[in-house]
Amino acid sequence: MGRAQRILFVSAEAFPLAKTGGLADVCAALPKALARLGCDVRLLVPGYADALGQLCDPRVVAELRDLLPGTDVRLIAGTLPGTALPVLLVDCPVLYCRPGALYVDADGRDWADNARRFAVLCHVAAWVALGRGGDGWRPDVVHAHDWHAGLVPLLLRRSGPSAPPSVFTIHNAAFQGNFPLSEADSLGLPADVLDVDGIEFYGQLSFLKAGVRFADKLTTVSPGYAREIQESEYGCGLEALFTARADDLTGIMNGIDTELWNPAADPLLPCVYSIDDTSGKAACKSALQHEMGLRLDAQAPLVASVCRLTHQKMSDVLLHALPQMLDRHPRLQVAIHGRGDRELEAGFLALAAGRDDGRLAVHIGYDEGRAHRLQAGADILLQGARFEPCGLTQLYAMRYGTIPIVTRIGGLADSVVDHDGAFHQEGATGFTFDHPSCDAMLGALHRCVDLYAADPAGWSTLCRFVMSRDSGWSRSAMTYLNLYGKLAAANQAYPVAAVELPARVWTDVSTTQATAPRQPRTATVREEREGAMPLMADGWQRG
């Protein structure tokens, strides 16, 4: 039997070290699933203050001076909390340890040096990929995630023939990492890629386009999204490039961490329950009503919304639909948990403040424990989206016996089968609607609530059925494993010495230094405000 495949994951976030959304969940859960299949996986993440504070068994393994002009970094090895998964943190406090959120300051503005922050992550990834990460470990494949790691495939292509092949996963094509072309030199990018056939994107440089252009293989987080991004409506200006690379593009459905999201053993719930004994879900509902300030009513259909309050997530439509849904169903309760656009936050708070009937609760912010309790205590999850690459919230809901109502788009369409209203319908896992409109959302909600009220036995059967659905990572992890294997087999091996390295000083301290990492000075805020990147038509030319 050959040795285990070595895979380096590169991501801006990974739960619980740093999280703004589903990217963090995927980049923690998928490596763990791959490790269970026998892979040797390591995860490279920026050394945010929270990450430095949570990393288990930290030790400095390498130092790189002048990685980019004036930028020194340390590489700190450890393990992901609660696991044996190896983690490498890029320790550079001037870039990563600061107040605010991961990508924005306390006022919601993008950090002015985001290009440099994530270029550093990418350059370190390229060095680790060439065996200079402190212990000589070299991956067979580098798996880069979203725009923050988009320069990695480009840097590997320019590192010589011994560089490993790369996989680039597009989690959301709307977030592109577009920056002025004038920054290219300071980011260590060669001038000959700053054109339309490289990473130029209508007068800017694009981290996302770099990943799409130079990775050996591309994946998205659902089959539906892989098709959609080749269309102008969802390609965010890169649809021609996605189409040109269609033969290298695969949609692989995200899974969830079924150990973290397990109602039978969830320490964040007031009462656990399982598919064999769902009685604890009623206790979770009562506790949630108390926590959120809702009227205690065991029979009330309780709808939860757990998402960023943004245009993408149709929060504007939900805001307008709420009065109608509450009027149509006199016992209906709605609990909203999330943050996002300031105007939408204010709108939801104002709507809740104008009611005193204990049927609408709004919490602005994000708390992991409350997110778990909402999934367990709610009867229904409402998750609209104008586009949705995959979505994990609906998978969490089904795991907890909560019925999702979703827009039939992207990964939502791949994961939720519509219930047509027939009692005891087989195969259905939720309710769907086709258009991002108030009427369409209300229509699906009415169908769902009517079933809840008219057929308790059928509702209970539906809840148990969705709980039985396999939403874990085992199947998708095997698909990734096969993809890695084909890439590694096709990649011709060359000695490391054949690579021409830049004149920078990388010091291996793994055997000479066991210094603890710098202590974090501030705690990071784990929320993300939707980006304000202008999306423009791509100039990609196909001959």
Residues flagged as binding site:
19
Closest to 210 measured CA to CA, from 225, 228, 195: 195
CA distance 491 to 392: 33
Residue with tokens 């990695």: 152
CA distances from 341 to 25, 310, 338, 535 (A): 23, 6, 10, 18
Residue ranges for the known binding site for ADP-alpha-D-glucose are 19
- Geometric angle at alpha carbon 94, from 92 and 97, rounded to 5°: 80
- How many CA atoms are closer than 13 Å to the CA of 203, on its beta-carbon side? 3
Check: CB of residue 341 under 8 Å from CB of residue 315: yes
Length of the chain: 543
Instruction: Report how many helices (DSSP H) and strands (DSSP E) the chain contains, helices first.
Output: 17, 18
The phi, psi pair for 232, rounded to 5°, reads -65, -30
* 63 strand-pairing partners: 74, 507
Tokens standing for residue 368:
């992991």
Strands 217-220 and 166-170: parallel
CA distance 454 to 421: 11
Q: What is the DSSP letter of 526?
A: -
Check: CB of residue 111 under 8 Å from CB of residue 104: yes
CA distances from 333 to 336, 346, 445 (A): 10, 20, 12
Query: Over 65-111, what HEC string results?
Result: EEEECCEEEEEEEEECCCCCCEEEEEECHHHHCCCCECCECCCCCEC
CA distance 313 to 414: 17
